[in-house]
Structure formats: structure tokens, C-alpha cells
Chains A and B, each alone.
Chain A
Amino acid sequence: MMTLVEKILAAHCGKEKVSPGEFITARVDIVMANDVTAPIAIREFRRIGVSKVFDPAKIVLVPDHFTPNKDIISAENAKMMREFAHEQGTVYFEVGQMCGIEHALLPEQGLALPGEVIIGGDSHTCTYGALGAFATGMGSTDIAAAMATGDTWIKVPPTIKLVYHGRLGQWVGGKDLILFTIGNIGVDGALYAAMEFTGEAIDNLSIDGRLTMANMAIEAGGKAGIFRVDETTRAYLKNRARHAFNEYEPDADAEYSRVIEFDVSEMEPQVSLPGSPANATPISKVGTVKIDQAVIGSCTNGRLEDLRVAAGILKGRKVNPNVRCLVFPGTQQIYLDALTEGLIETFVRAGAAVSTPTCGPCAGLHMGILAAGERCISTTNRNFISRMGSPKSELYLSGPAVAAASAVTGKITSPGEMT
């Protein structure tokens, strides 16, 4: 009678059963932070008065937001995190050395595994639910406390079951599914709840597509987004998982707070209009929108499959003269794989700028910042006012196919029109 999330949480607090609304203290398997959240977490950790983290092998520190260091302040923050990582012996990835954007990196490195409880100092930590983990974002002080104790308090969330019937069309992927979902239930449609993604379309979705969906559970207010482990998951984790893991299944009589069903067989590629990810619109209804920039990458859509889709459209074509097209592979490994496959050459020949992995443009931190009046289509996860730069800029969200097609035509374009 427990959902997948309830089973994982029960196993992490030594209880037979947990129920939504119950406060528990859960053991954590991974505590992650980045160069934005770690500096404050480390300062707060020192205030607790312990000298060592609970288990250095379970602390993962990733420089990815303002890195490669944007300015002196960012460099000082990165330095502080690096020194703490070395002092404590935590897991640490240096820029350039098989590093990457945290939520692309941890799954790739086999550090995010099924059945685990993972907390991260970043709201998109929910990404790891794609592999069947309970993963959720927290702020720096929560991260500090968990680094000291190895546990954290959690209010057991109710679970919303989302069922996606049908098979996806050619240019429709995980990003379109999640934008459509947020458009349907709203940015607080899953507030405090876990979202369990199921159905035929999910069974046929790749791990890269599932990671994209779980990544944006937070954009519906969700505490977690989770997928059941299946053969696709096991194949992905083979020769990748750093240690053994437990698989959990929801009970047949598990109680869900809501069950929402969609038939997605006729779904068009989705575009979220500026202001909110919930402004999801089928591409045929977007109208004529000229763009100045197209961003392809990030923790949402910077994986190899995303780059393959974008390169497939850009191959033999040129980026519109009025557009800057920026490509951000999620990790160094993805960059290398894309290089080996010839995707990077395709991007460069098309006239796209290819960057080292960084969160820079997605959060308006550095690289690819927009001026007043500029419009951008981006495969990232948020399009709040001023998210990528000027409060007078406009940001549209889409999957990589729409972003690449738009980069070529200079206006928001369905990839189906590119043939």
C-alpha cells in the first residue's frame, strides 16, 4: 500500500511504513552542492562545530555555475569549495577533468542510483528521479546540516501519478512531455508532492528523455519526480553504477493523491512562452516570433541524445545570420562523445558557438546573457523574468529540435518544417 517514494523513504528511516504528511529523519546516500550553494553551506557547516563530514564518499561537490570562473568573486568561491573538498576528501570534479553540469554529471558517473535518497544544493536535484532515486533540492543550510549528520528531515510527500498513453511523434521528446505537463497542472500543480511518471510513452522513453522530465518536476512545484526502474534503467546503469543498489516497486494498491492521464500520441512539440514554464503552447500556435539567440544544452537538454537531435537538424545548414546559436554539452564526457561522433564539427560548421559545460546562460550568470529587447529560445528549464539577462529580454523554452530549427530560420520554427 506504499508508493515508490514512500517505500524508498521508509527504507531510509528504518520504518515499515510511512504515510504522506509524516515527518521523518531520512538517511541520505548522496549530498551534493555546487559553487553557488557550497560556499554558504561550508560556512554554515563550520558553525555546527564538527570537524569532519559524516562520510566524504557521499559528499559530491561540483563547480559548474560560475565556472570556468567568471570573475574574482566567483574564483574565490570556487577556491573555497575546492579547498574544503580536498580537506575533507569528498568527491570533487575539477573543471575540464571529466567535470560537467551537476545533474548531467552525477547520473553519468554512476553516483545517482535507484532506491537512494539524494539531496542537493540545487533545485534541479530532482533530475535523479529518472533513475528511480528519491532526489530533491534544498538550500545551503540544509546541505550543511546533512554534511554533518548524514541525514535530513523530510515531510513524506503525497504522490501524483502521471500516465502518458500513446507513442510520441518524431520531433517530440521528454522536454515536450514535461512542458506540456507543467502547462496542464501549473507551476504549483505538484506543490510539495512527488510526481511518478508512467505509461506507454514513458516505457519507450530513453534515460536521457527521462532525466529531462525529472529535471523539471520542480517547475511544477514538485518535491521529486520519479520513474520506476526497468530494463532501460538497468542497461544504462550497467558498468556505470559505482555500487550496488536496491530497486523498489510501488504496491499495486498504493494510494495516489491524484492520477492524471494524458494521450500524447498526437502531441506537437511544445514551446513555453516567456514568463513561466507553465506557458506551454503547441508549436503550431506560437505564431511568428523572431529570435536573437538559441541556447542548446544545460542540465535539462545537454545530453548526447539532445545534441544528436540538434546536430541532425543543423547538419548541412547554417545558423541564421541574425542569431547567436550557443551549444552547451552537459559534461566533458558528452562533449567528447559528441566530438567523436562528429556532432561538434556539425555545430561549428553551422556557425554555432560550442562551450565547455557550464550553467552560465541558463541562470543568467555569465556567457550568453541577453540585452533588453532580445529574444531567445532555449532548451533550459526556466523562463522567469530576467532569468537569462535583462528583465526586458524574452525567453522561450523548448526541446533541442525546435531550438535548432529556430536557430536556422531565425524565428521559432517546428522541426517538421525543415525537411
Chain B
Amino acid sequence: MLKGTVHKYGADFDTDAIIPGRYLNLTTVEEVARHCMEDVDPDFLTRVRPGDIVVATTNFGCGSSREHAPMALKGVGIACVIAKSFARIFFRNAINIGLPLLESADAVDNTEAGDVLEVDLASGTINNLTRGKTFTAAAYPEFMAELISAGGLIEFTRQRLAGKGV
């Protein structure tokens, strides 16, 4: 069970906003985390606490394929991102590296910055403790669920290749 405070953003929040291009020569979670949201929300790094949750509206993570974006969010301790929809490359990247994403328009519409959410990833249940409301996120397709339960794409691929006897 995850429990954290909400940081809320709007529509089409792009990966340049999550981690500006000038830091793309950094390659570790720790390094990129130091610049997360730097240009668009300069106070984010002082506000954010490990376990916090990012909530956004539509098309979160649009733009570049930089894996640095989910890496930065993971690095500052964001436990999961809840949005109405995600840009597809960001979605793959986050799942691949083990940053949980949940889609629930109701949860987004009924959550404000500073609210405290409790999230059960297994069932997709999102409980807004501040407002006393409960929501259920869309279930992952079976294939994605397998990938997540394997522990991300690298583990999934290791197991797959081992199964093949490669």
C-alpha cells in the first residue's frame, strides 16, 4: 500500500518539463533527480518527499523518449503517477523501469495538490484520505501485468531468454 501527498499538474505535461534537455548527458537516477521539474516548478525539489504521488490530467509525459523523465520522478521518490492518460513512450518507459502508473479520470478530477492518497497497486484502488473518496484505476492489460510482476522489462527479458535457452 502506497501513501503520499499529491503534486498536481495539468494537461500535456511534457518530458522537457520533467527533466530539461540540458541534463540528458546525465545517466543515473540520482543525477537526473537533482533537476526534476527544475524549469517549470522550481520549488518541487524542496516540497517533494519520498512516497509522494504525482497527479496530472491528460497526455502526461508527452514529447521526448528520454527515460530520464521517469528516472527523475523515481529518483526523487515519487511512488506512482495517476493521470487521465499518458503519452505512450513515457508509459512504456515508466513500466519498464518500475515506476507505477495508474489511469483514473475520476481520481484526477477529485484530487487537488496537497491531498493525501492511499493507493493499492494490486487492486488499482485509489483512496483520497483528505476527501474521503475512493476510486478504481483501469486494470492493466494482461501482458502489461506480466511485465510489471516480472519486475520490469529487463527482468522480463532475462526470464524470457532463459526460458528459450538462449
Q: Which residues of A contact B (CB under 8 A)?
A: 23, 36-37, 39-40, 43-44, 47-50, 65-66, 70-71, 73-74, 77, 121-123, 125, 137-142, 144-145, 148-149, 153, 155, 187-188, 191-192, 218, 221, 223, 276, 363-366, 369, 382, 384-387, 391
Contact = CB atoms under 8 A, between A and B. Distances in A.
B22 A364 contact: yes
Residue among B17, B67, B68, B93 with the highest chain A CB neighbour number at 10 A:
B67
20 contacts: A40-B68, A47-B154, A49-B161, A74-B25, A123-B65, A138-B92, A140-B93, A141-B153, A141-B154, A149-B161, A155-B141, A188-B58, A188-B87, A364-B20, A369-B22, A382-B63, A384-B63, A385-B16, A385-B17, A386-B20
Interface string B81-120: 0000101110011001100000000000000000000000
Closest 7 CB pairs of A and B: A139-B93, A139-B67, A363-B21, A188-B59, A141-B96, A391-B39, A386-B39
Nearest to B94: A139
Contact of A141 (B39, B152, B160, B161): B152
Contacts of B39: 385-386, 391
A384 B16 contact: yes
Contact of A188 (B17, B85, B97): B85
B59 A387 contact: no
Given A139-B67, A140-B93, A386-B17, 7 more contacts: A49-B158, A73-B25, A138-B89, A139-B93, A139-B96, A221-B87, A385-B17
Contacts of A382: 14, 16, 63-64
B130 interface: no
A364 B39 CA distance: 12
B16 A142 contact: no
Interface string B57-79: 01100111111100000000000
B21 A387 contact: yes
Contact of B87 (A49, A121, A191, A276): A191
Contacts of A125: 65
A142 B12 CA distance: 23
A223 B154 CA distance: 22
B153 A145 contact: yes
B157 interface: yes
A223 B16 contact: no
Contacts of A144: 153-154, 157
B40 interface: yes
B160 A221 contact: no
Nearest to A78: B25
B59 A148 contact: no
A145 B161 CA distance: 10
Given A191-B87, A391-B39, A141 B67 contact: yes
A63 B39 CA distance: 27
B149 interface: no
B75 to A, nearest CB: 13
Given A43-B27, A188-B58, A363-B21, A139 B65 contact: yes
B21 to A, nearest CB: 4
B26 interface: yes
Contacts of B88: 191-192, 221, 223
B25 A121 contact: no
Contact of A48 (B24, B67, B154): B154
A116 to B, nearest CB: 19
A223 B92 CA distance: 12
Given A71-B25, A145-B154, A276 B12 contact: yes
A66 B24 CA distance: 9
A87 B119 CA distance: 45
B158 A123 contact: no
Nearest to A44: B154
A232 B143 CA distance: 40
B122 interface: no
A192 to B, nearest CB: 5
A366 B20 CA distance: 12
A301 to B, nearest CB: 18
A139 B66 contact: yes
Nearest to B160: A149
A187 B62 contact: yes
Nearest to B96: A141
B143 A153 contact: yes
B1 interface: no
Nearest to A363: B21
B85 A191 contact: yes
B161 A50 contact: yes
